């Protein structure tokens, strides 16, 4: 149990380190390249981060080619996952078709029957290794992260095909759903990690162009597939994280004008429809785990606001009689969490790291708005480690 807590806390530190939006001070890495970091967190936790990264050096790289138990494609690079809230029907002899129980994660969806767990582990390994590389300058960390990226995205035999046609399938009903696009939010963290690796002498032109080509193809699928078109119309957190993926991959592949247009024409409309004048998130607060979904959605919206600021786009700054600004949404969520039973926020089988997301959101929001209430909540969270010490939020 202690090991799980420590690991969860290290992940929080790593993702704070990775997210330039939520980090506060410029520094230099081993090559004199500029990066941003929270010096207190890095100084205090770098030994833990590098110790865990050392253990990753001993492991073989992960591959999507190890197919799940069910087969929906002859291509070993096809990503397959199961819808998390769907369970075997007890009234059926074979359990099919599965039935939905909202808010209850079926542990089967976090097993070898799905690619989602290995996708999450891949993203987390790359994050650890790239952070450890930036802290220490040790090339073995960069090399291992690069090997992992190559295996997942560039190798023709072990790589993932850039689509999510078979994500979050429901046994007995379909072989994939538009909702499965949200699995791709873990790939956003991969892109964030790449920025820490590109200055390594092990970084190659072939990998760089291969990665950007892969994400360009994946972006094309998000924009033009039937599932992508459906998800683009989603009003809730699914739409938010669709936008985060689109903007992230567009910027990564040099399509900044498209990213700006998407923010102004698609993301802004979604934002104004999600929040009431008080800052309450209309769609997330209806769910069986409202605070869980409130944190998840708001993290995505704050990330979009940070992207927008870097692109010179006004995003979520103004309130109307119909909708609050994004800052008020953050304050409403903080007030809702104050004194709440944190055991209701997540599910023991849920691998969404809400602990990391909440701190990332607070850090980014304070950087955007400079609000002392947000700063105080961030400090309280760090001091009390409220979510990290809640067993239901362990991801390992």
pLDDT exceeds 70 at position 128: yes
pLDDT exceeds 70 at position 342: no
Confidence class of residue 91 from pLDDT cuts 50, 70 and 90?
Answer: very high
Q: Are 142 and 202 a contacting pair, CB within 8 Å?
A: yes
Q: Are 105 and 347 a contacting pair, CB within 8 Å?
A: yes
Average pLDDT over residues 304-327: 87
Spans of all domains in the chain? 38-223, 234-389
Domain 234-389 in the same topology as domain 38-223? yes
The average confidence (pLDDT) of the chain is: 85
pLDDT at 48 (0 to 100): 79
Strand partners, 25: 37
pLDDT in tens, 154-185: 999 999 999 999 999 999 999 999 999 999 99
How far CA 141 is from CA of 36, 60, 107, in Å, comes to: 19, 14, 32
pLDDT exceeds 80 at position 12: no
pLDDT at 43 (0 to 100): 54
pLDDT exceeds 50 at position 229: yes
Q: Which CATH number fits domain 38-223: 1.10.300.10, 3.40.50.920, 3.30.1740.10, 1.50.10.100?
A: 1.50.10.100
pLDDT at 216 (0 to 100): 99
pLDDT at 22 (0 to 100): 37
pLDDT at 241 (0 to 100): 98
366/286 Cα distance (integer angstroms) = 27
Average pLDDT over residues 241-265: 98
3 state SS of 222: helix
Indicate the CATH number for domain 234-389. 1.50.10.100
pLDDT exceeds 80 at position 95: yes
Residues in the chain: 396
pLDDT exceeds 50 at position 255: yes
pLDDT at 380 (0 to 100): 87
Q: Which segment of 143-157, 178-192, 205-219, 376-390 scores lowest on mean pLDDT? A: 376-390
Percentages of the chain per state (helix, strand, coil), in multiples of 5: 60, 5, 35
The answer, as to whether pTM is greater than 0.95, is: no
Strand partners, 99: 87
pLDDT exceeds 80 at position 70: no
64/167 Cα distance (integer angstroms) = 13
pLDDT at 14 (0 to 100): 61
Average pLDDT over residues 337-353: 69
């Amino acid at each position: 149990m202690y090991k799980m807590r420590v690991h969860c806390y290290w992940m929080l530190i790593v993702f704070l380190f990775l997210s330039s939006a939520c980090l506060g001070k410029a520094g230099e890495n081993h090559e004199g390249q500029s990066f941003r970091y929270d010096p207190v967190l890095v100084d205090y936790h770098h030994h833990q981060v590098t110790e865990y990264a050392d253990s990753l050096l001993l492991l073989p790289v992960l591959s999507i080619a190890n197919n799940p138990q069910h087969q929906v494609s002859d291509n070993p690079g096809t990503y397959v996952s199961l819808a998390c809230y769907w369970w075997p029907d007890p009234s059926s002899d074979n359990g099919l078709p599965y039935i939905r129980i909202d808010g209850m994660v079926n542990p089967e969806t976090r097993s070898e029957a799905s690619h989602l767990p290995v996708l999450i582990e891949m993203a987390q390994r790359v994050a650890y290794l790239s952070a450890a590389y930036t802290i220490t300058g040790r090339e073995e960390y960069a090399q291992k992260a690069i090997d992992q990226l190559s295996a997942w995205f560039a190798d023709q035999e072990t790589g993932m095909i850039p689509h999510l046609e078979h994500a979050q399938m429901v046994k007995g009903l379909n072989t994939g759903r538009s909702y499965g696009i949200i699995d791709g939010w873990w790939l956003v963290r991969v892109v964030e990690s790449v920025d820490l690796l590109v200055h390594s002498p092990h970084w190659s032109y072939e990998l760089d162009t291969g990665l950007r080509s892969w994400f360009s193809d994946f972006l094309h699928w998000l924009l033009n597939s039937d599932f992508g078109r459906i998800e683009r119309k989603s009003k809730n957190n699914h739409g938010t994280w669709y936008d985060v993926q689109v903007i992230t991959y567009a910027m990564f592949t040099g399509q900044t004008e498209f990213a700006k247009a998407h923010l102004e024409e698609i993301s802004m409309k979604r934002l104004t429809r999600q929040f009431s004048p008080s800052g309450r998130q209309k769609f997330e607060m209806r769910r069986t785990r409202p605070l869980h979904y409130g944190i998840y959605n708001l993290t995505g919206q704050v990330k979009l606001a940070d992207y927008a600021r870097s692109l010179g786009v006004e995003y979520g700054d103004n309130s109307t009689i119909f909708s609050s600004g994004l800052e008020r949404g953050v304050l409403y969520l903080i007030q809702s969490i104050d004194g709440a039973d944190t055991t209701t926020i997540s599910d023991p089988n849920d691998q969404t790291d809400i602990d990391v997301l909440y701190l990332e959101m607070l850090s980014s929001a304070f950087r955007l708005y400079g609000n002392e209430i947000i700063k105080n909540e961030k400090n309280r969270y760090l001091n009390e480690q409220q979510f990290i010490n809640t067993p239901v939020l362990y991801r390992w």
